[in-house]
Structure 1
Amino acid sequence: MFKKMLAMLFIAVVLMALPTGAYAAAEPYVIDRSSLDKGIITIHYTGNTDTKAIVRITKGDDTSDYNLANGARYPLQWGNGVYNVLIAQFISDNKYRVVGQERIELKMTDANEVFLQPIQLVDWNGKTRAVAETAKLTEDAVTDKEKAEAIYSYITHTIRYDNEKARSVTTAYLPDLDTVYDTAEGICYDYAALFAAMARSQHIPTRLVMGYAADAPDVYHAWNQIYLQDSGQWVTIDTTYDAARVQKGQAPEMIKDSADYTIAQIY
């Protein structure tokens, strides 16, 4: 439901490595590990902020690329183990120069804790307007499923798909949740980030997932998975496609068949 070149966020880059130790003396960044117990690192960058830079996080065969923003929070979402965090600065075309990299060992008690946190792609706090709305929506809900249903109902009835935005969105785009809430419009990335923030604010582990849905196998898409404590299972929710159905008077089931979705990335 949005441009594949944006959605991937895995920027196809050629990384130009520096000689060993070349960036050790004056690293232009600091990796803050104070939230590592929650699976989160924060990068403080002192390099040239006028020049594009990326963060590449790798664990085994899993890799995610992010645009670097000073003070942004990045997830280590693939469970315990050793991660490599690489920071590279744009040179030209698709070439980047590595300015630093570090190995980080993650040892979490609860692997789902990372999916409760604000991150660069799901940027929320207690003042986020949708989060305040969530407290009202869920005040009578008891179980995680009931809370998720209240959030799902709100989004699918309220947020309308923005076709113009889908055509014009750039590779640097990140959802602004207050804007999505105020305008009641967005693309699938917005729907999924909004749902994730609202559910995470209610202590429901929630993933923002990107990949492909069976209904549109050639269109890069974003949706969610939530962890239901009662059943101990991750279930699939797609507010984007269901909003279109609900707004046409249909009544789709909230929980989808995960087999109808092909996952490329989880955040």
Structure 2
Amino acid sequence: MKLPKRCRLAAAALALTLCAGCGSAPPSQQIESIAQNAAPSAAAPVQSEGGGFVAPEPLTATFDEAAAQTDNDVLWDTSHLAQGYVAVRTSQPGKIKFLLTYQGDTGGVPSQYSYLMPADGSPAIIPLQLGSGDYELAVCQNISGDKYAYLSRQTVTAALEDDFAPFLRPSIYIPYTPDSACVAKASELTAGAADTVDAVGRIYDYIVTNIDYDTPKAESIGTDYYPDPDETLATGKGICVDYAALAAAMLRSQGIPTKLITGYVAPNDLYHAWNMIWLEETGWITVEFEVKPGVWNRVDTTFAAGGAGSQYIGDGSNYTDFRTY
């Protein structure tokens, strides 16, 4: 994930805020409901039985070798378009990038996403986060400096079986499997939850309480960084995108549609990462805050963990959503 310098500056700003004696805000102030775009066409695939929360089996995202087609040493698996992703791998040497371009109306948000492909030749799972429609997919090889040449490209038409599909599975930014430690922890935390809202609250409280902000990492992180939810869980620390990826992995694995959002937070235009979740229920995440059903609810575990959330959340107008993963 390519992190602008402002993302690294966010660490210093947050640390300065805390050192200035900002009071610790209650977790309830880190979640805020907003209606964004049209509502997805299908209900969130979370089951409730007997008044309790029952998570479905975690959905997976895989590279199907048998379904893959080869072009210039690029293997394309486009058999999962309806499930909201494409899988691709290549053994070509050097720096390889995947370029995804949505060819429909995005409502003003970016239509193009660039991903650094794994250096070891393993498959990359690329989400179709902009929904159903036509996408140009391209694999490009670095030839010098910032110049790239196409290795292979094609246009596909995706008809998602569920508008939530890209936000219920692992992807290149949110890697996990049913055997991941973060999935096991999420299942442990949600066992016995009263409902989906309670399940979200348990995962949210765990992350806020147990993950510390890693200021040295934020100040030294390079470009093209990808988070590892299991590593964040094991080390107990991370930067904003680590918090957001861990939350997304844990919640998605429990059948709760979750986005990882990157964008900017006023008043200092801090480049930041947070989550949006979709619930079909209403209820209290904490004693102070109620989430709303049928809208995307904003969740910011980074600022909640740092105790500076009330200064940044406000009414949500200081958040500018830029890219969705």
- TM-score, normalization by structure 2: 0.70
2:126 is the counterpart of 1:64: no
Q: Report the alpha carbon displacement of residue 140 of structure 1 after superposing the two structures with TM.
A: 1.9
Per-residue CA distance 1:40-72 (angstroms, 9 max, x = gap)? 111021322xx0010110113611100012301
The answer on whether the counterparts of 2:71 and 2:152 sit within 8 Å (CA) in structure 1 is no
Partner of 2:125: 73
Amino acid at match of 2:272: H
For the 8 Å contact 2:168–2:258, the answer to whether it is kept is yes
| Counterpart pick for 1:235 among 297, 300, 317 | 297
Are 1:222 and 2:280 matched, yes or no? no
What CA distance in whole angstroms lies between the structure 2 residues aligned with 1:266 and 1:189? Answer: 12
Counterpart for residue 260 of structure 1:
318
Matched, 1:86 2:148: no
Offset at residue 127 of structure 1 (A): 1.7
1:127 aligned onto 2:179:
yes
Query: Which runs of no fewer than 5 residues in structure 1 stay unpaired?
Result: 8-24
The answer as to 2:162 corresponding to 1:110 is: yes
1:6 positional shift: 9.4
Q: What is the number of equivalent residue pairs in this alignment?
A: 241
* Alpha-carbon RMSD: 2.2
Identity of aligned residues (%): 35
Listed as ranges, the matches of 1:145-164 within 5 Å are 145-164=197-216
Relative to 1, partners in 2 of residues 1:98 and 1:197: Cα closer, same or farther, differing over 3 Å? Answer: same
Q: Aligned letter for 2:4? A: K
Amino acid paired to 2:199: K
What is the identity, as a one-letter code, of the residue corresponding to 2:274? W
Which region of structure 1 is more displaced relative to structure 2, 226-235 or 141-150?
Answer: 141-150
Question: In structure 2, what is the Cα distance between the partners aligned to 1:5 and 1:63?
Answer: 20
- Structure with the largest fraction of strand: 1
TM value normalised by structure 1: 0.84
2:76 maps to 31
In structure 2, distance between residues paired with 1:26 and 1:80:
25
Aligned residues of 1:235 and 1:256 also touching (Cα < 8 A):
no
CA distance in 2 between counterparts of 1:154 and 1:26 reads 45
Q: Provide Cα deviations, 1:157-210, integer angstroms capped at 9, x if missing partner.
A: 000000000011111321122211111000001000000000001100000000
1:43 paired to 2:88: yes
- Runs of 4+ in structure 1 off by over 6 angstroms are none
Pair 1:55-2:98 in alignment: yes
Give the aligned partner of residue 192 of structure 1.
244
**Residue number among 175, 178, 184 corresponding to 2:227 in the alignment:** 175
Shift, 1:243, TM fit: 0.5
Deviations 1:19-46 (A, max 9, x none): xxxxxx9522121123222111110213
In 2, the alpha carbon distance for the partners of 1:229 and 1:32 equals 33
- Structure 1 147/260 Cα, relative in aligned 2: closer, same or farther at 3 Å? farther
Residues 121 and 6 of structure 1, relative CA distance in 2, 3 Å threshold: farther
Q: Is contact 1:89-1:99 (8 Å) kept?
A: yes
Tell me the alpha carbon deviations over residues 106-152 of structure 1, each in whole angstroms, 9 at most, x when there is no partner: 00121111100100100011221121111111112233222111111
* Distance 1:148-1:257 versus aligned 2 partners, 3 A rule: farther
Task: Select the structure with the greater relative contact order (CA < 8 A; seq sep ≥ 6).
Answer: 2
Partners of 2:126 and 2:172 within 8 A in 1: yes
Task: Please tell me whether the aligned partners of residues 57 and 85 of structure 1 are also in contact (alpha carbons under 8 angstroms).
Answer: yes
1:154–1:96: structure 2 CA closer, same or farther, 3 Å change rule?
Answer: same
